[in-house]
Structure 1
Amino acid sequence: MKIRGVAHRGYPLRYPENTMSSFQAAYDLGFTHLEMDVHLSKDGIPVLMHDPTIDRMTDGEGWIKDYTLEELKRFRVGRNETIPTLEEALLFAKGKMTVKVELKQLGNLYPGMEETVLEVLKKTDMLDQVFISSFNHYAIANMRKLSSEVELGLIQWGSTPTVFPFMEEIRARYLSLRVEYLTDDFVERCRRSDIQLIVWPVNLEWQFDKAARYPSVLCVTDNLEHFKEMYEQRFQ
């Protein structure tokens, strides 16, 4: 049974987040969507990590932007993994899963990030399997200027009607927000606007129960096996 849900950074409760083993585990469990976080190396290569530094996830320290890809690959993630590139991860997911690529564009920390990520999507022939999202709505607007084809999404903390005119303007079809802010009215507003609503986190039973009231909503989870159990009990 396919599990209609978003594996958040792969399966971070059991494997190092944003790694190939974590992505493989999400695929093996049957998840339809995969989320990953992107930064740029010193030499402009999109690499996967949530934080702007390597301190938490590797045996090294420092800012991602201060290391070349070759240097980043020398650090260990977990016991024996390396920091993946966006290209490596997309090639893994190709033909298997829809991918949510989150741009970690903090202000203008990474000049040229949108152009570079778009190049990777085209190089891997993954435009039809990926949507780009970010808390940085300027970065998403810039992505639309660069491409009329790429699918776009916005991430925000809560629900607000002011987001809809902007989404219509840039033709963004995905909207992510905290599960606490999920309401009947907001789900209906997204339905009328043909927007795919995504909520996070959906790790606990009350979060799942709240989101499951709306079958159209996509759930982002870290606790993949528990989510799978709840999903199969509710929807099989």
Structure 2
Amino acid sequence: MPKRYFDNPGPDGAQRPIALSHRGFAPDGRENTLPAMAAALDLGFAYLEIDVRTTRDGVVMVFHDERLERVTDGSGRLADHSLAELSAVRVRGSEPIPTLEEVLERWPGVRLNIDIKDDSSIQPFADLVEKHGVHDRVLVAAFSDRRRLRVLRKLSRPTASSAGMAVNALIKALSPLKLTRLIAKLARVDCVQVPLRFRGLRVADRNFIRRCNEAEVPVHVWTINDRATMEELLDDGASGLVSDRADLLAEVMVAWGAWPQYN
């Protein structure tokens, strides 16, 4: 198991919960941009959750949506544009869309939870991990377990990975039967990253978190933006929280004695 990605020891050496800033910290809407990431790092974060998609000419970009319209002044699918064409596009009118390579090179100590959004990113993403030797500081995530596993098979060293939708559902359903560790091993999963609720049903409840912890499978819960729920989940034993409110999550982690993060 590639444990180094998850290492977040306190002064006494004990593992502390991980705080992940969701697409950086962007109260102005400039998500997944370099200033958003820098803002989270300035608050003390060492873990960033980001998304990647790939251009027509094979460059991995840090961007969430399939299309450009919601957060940029561009239009159409990102995958239909070249890097040169995207160089003129601005997020919220001010910031360029960064490449993943820019992020890897700018912050060599930061841990990145990377949600791979499209199949065209599989090979170029794996190539970047190999080129920069960042196997210990990235976590491969995708809603599609098929896509996630295809990436892992292309990497030369063990790399952390979280379950996709299908494996998450399987672990949730079978965790009462104490099959979590077996499923995680077979599916090449090092943690589960789940929403608090799905279709009105609570996913990350106390019993589910406890069973995963007993199986040594960390539970990260997304996207938690209020103090009370953050504190409740930490009390319940969650190993990580993902939030848009990086400022609030940092305050909670300070009170929890889990700040600053290891970097």
Using the size of structure 1 for normalisation, the TM-score is 0.88
Match of 2:184 in 1: 167
Deviations along 1:98-132, one digit per CA (max 9) or x if unpaired, are: 11000112xxxx34x22210111122221111011
- Taking the aligned partners of 1:84 and 1:15, their CA distance within structure 2 comes to 15
Query: How far did 1:220 drift?
Result: 0.3
Alignment of structure 1 residues 151-162 onto 2, 5 Å: 151-156=160-165, 160-162=172-174
Corresponding residue number in structure 1 for 2:131: 123
Given that residues 50 and 112 in structure 2 are in contact (C-alpha distance below 8 angstroms), is that contact kept between their aligned partners in structure 1?
yes
Counterparts in 2 of 1:1-236, with a 5 A limit? Answer: 4-14=18-28, 16-95=30-109, 97-105=110-118, 110-111=119-120, 113-147=121-155, 148-156=157-165, 160-162=172-174, 164=180, 165-180=182-197, 181-235=203-257
1:160 aligned counterpart, secondary structure: helix
How many positions carry a matched residue from both structures? 230
How far did residue 3 of structure 1 move? 8.8
How far residue 162 of structure 1 moved from its aligned partner, in angstroms, is 4.4
Helix, strand or coil: the match of 2:90?
coil
Q: Distance in 1 between matches of 2:164 and 2:235?
A: 21
Q: Quote how far apart the aligned CAs of 1:174 are.
A: 1.9
Corresponding residue number in structure 1 for 2:200: none
Q: Determine helix, strand or coil for the equivalent of 2:19.
A: strand
Residue type of the partner of 2:215? S
Q: Distance in 1 between matches of 2:86 and 2:158?
A: 31
Counterparts of 1:30 and 1:66, CA distance in 2? 36
Alpha-carbon RMSD: 2.3
Query: Could you say what secondary structure the match of 2:52 adopts?
Result: strand
Distance 1:220 1:9 in 2: 10
Distance in structure 2 (CA, Å) of the matches to 1:31 and 1:59:
29
Equivalent pair of 2:218/2:239 in contact (CA under 8 Å): yes
* Cα offset, 1:235, TM superposition: 2.8
Alpha carbons of 1:72 and 1:202: their partners in 2 closer, same or farther (altered >3 Å)? same
Query: Could you tell me how far 1:60 is from its partner in structure 2?
Result: 1.1
Asked if 2 retains the 8 angstrom alpha-carbon contact of 1:9 and 1:17, the reply is: yes
In 2, the alpha carbon distance for the partners of 1:168 and 1:136 equals 17
Q: Is the 8 A contact 1:135 1:155 kept in 2?
A: yes
Task: Tell me the amino acid that sits aligned with residue 170 of structure 1.
Answer: A
Q: TM-score scaled by structure 2?
A: 0.79
Unmatched 5+ stretches in structure 1: none
1:162-184, CA deviations, whole angstroms, 9 ceiling, x for partnerless residues? Answer: 48444311321021101242223
Query: Letter of the aligned partner of 1:225 in structure 2?
Result: D
Following the alignment from structure 1 to structure 2, what is the Cα–Cα distance between the partners of residues 179 and 194?
20
Identity of aligned residues (%): 24
2:107 and 2:183 mapped to 1: Cα distance? 30
Note the C-alpha offset of 1:204: 0.8
Q: CA deviation at 1:216?
A: 4.8
Whether the 8 Å CA contact 1:3–1:30 is kept in 2: the answer is no
Q: Aligned equivalents of 1:155 and 1:211: distance in 2?
A: 21
Runs (5+) with no aligned partner, structure 2: 1-9, 11-15, 198-202, 259-263
Please list the CA deviations of residues 179-199 of structure 1 after superposition, one character each: whole Å capped at 9, or x if unmatched: 242223222222233222110
SS in 1 for 2:232: helix
Say if 1:151 and 1:230 are closer, same or farther in 2 by CA, change over 3 A.
Answer: closer
